[in-house]
């Protein structure tokens, strides 16, 4: 909201000066204001991308995320939510404390990480993403600078290296997000888990914050002309002491049980 208010304030100032000094008709001031806002947002996004290119090398993953770009990512995510006409209903997220968590969530759509990040403005959450995302021009370096990690699911050895990097990140106090399903369900159901994701919580001795998102799969059909109401719910926090004696399959079964209960409760109360 602060970002949008800042854009509107700057645009209003520029708009007033143009009208005053260039003797532009007041009838067009509203259209000019919208145009200036649009240009300012484009400039902001361009600056973020350029900083990403300068700071990050897409071939290397950094240990410490850039605070500058992490803040920019939060702004960009909230802007995307706004222009996509999404209304987020948050449930239980205020229970999260300022400590390290492995965040796990179901995966309905491409917008899931954007929605989750926008829902938690006070948490610098970076996700584990597919290797090919890292190769995208401009976007790849920017995400790497923000602490996003990549995993090669086709190579077990490289996949293990990614898990070790995520463990180090968690041990240093930075939260990491992961979608145990590995791919989008593209619907309301939860797919089969890849239990290897829970090795990160075991090795780093981190608590697991269990998130569910719902209605994300409808954004593709609604945005931007119809509003999509999306739920983001904290279903529970699984303490390390509660699962340290479990194997990854047992942890996965417990997490998916909690997710199913959370989704059932969300849909019952709608």
For 107-153, what is each residue's pLDDT tens digit?
999 889 989 999 998 888 889 888 777 776 656 666 776 778 888 77
Give me the residue label for tokens 């260039």: 22
Q: Going by DSSP bridges, is the β-strand pair 228-238/207-214 parallel, antiparallel, or unpaired?
A: antiparallel
Can you name the CATH fold of 56-269? Glycerol-3-phosphate (1)-acyltransferase (3.40.1130)
Distance of alpha carbon 43 from alpha carbon 49, whole angstroms? 10
Distance of alpha carbon 51 from alpha carbon 208, whole angstroms? 32
Distance of alpha carbon 147 from alpha carbon 140, whole angstroms? 11
| Predicted model pTM | 0.79
**pLDDT above 80 (res 244):** yes
138, containing H or E segment? none
């Amino acid at each position: 909201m602060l970002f949008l208010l800042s854009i509107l304030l700057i645009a209003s100032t520029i708009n007033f000066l143009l009208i005053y000094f260039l003797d532009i008709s007041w009838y067009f001031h509203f259209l000019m204001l919208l145009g200036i806002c649009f240009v300012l947002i484009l400039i902001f996004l361009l600056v973020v991308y350029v900083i990403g290119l300068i700071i990050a090398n897409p071939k290397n993953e950094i240990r410490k995320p850039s605070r500058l770009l992490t803040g920019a990512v939060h702004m960009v995510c909230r802007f995307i939510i706004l222009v996509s006409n999404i209304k987020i209903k948050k449930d239980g997220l205020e229970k999260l404390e300022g400590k390290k968590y492995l965040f796990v969530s179901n995966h309905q759509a491409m917008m899931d990480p954007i929605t989750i990040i926008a829902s938690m403005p006070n948490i610098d959450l970076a996700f584990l993403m597919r290797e090919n995302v890292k190769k995208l021009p401009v976007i790849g370096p920017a995400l790497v600078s923000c602490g996003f990690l990549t995993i090669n699911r086709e190579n077990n050895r490289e996949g293990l290296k990614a898990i070790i990097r995520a463990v180090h990140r968690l041990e240093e106090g930075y939260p990491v997000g992961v979608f145990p399903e590995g791919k989008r369900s593209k619907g309301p159901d939860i797919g089969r888990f890849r239990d290897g994701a829970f090795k990160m919580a075991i090795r780093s001795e981190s608590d697991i914050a269990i998130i569910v998102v719902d209605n994300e799969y409808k954004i593709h059909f609604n945005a931007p002309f119809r509003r999509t109401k999306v739920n983001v719910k904290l279903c529970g926090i699984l303490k390390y002491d509660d699962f340290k004696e479990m194997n990854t399959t047992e942890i996965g079964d417990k997490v998916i049980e909690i997710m199913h209960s959370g989704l059932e409760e969300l849909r019952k109360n709608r």
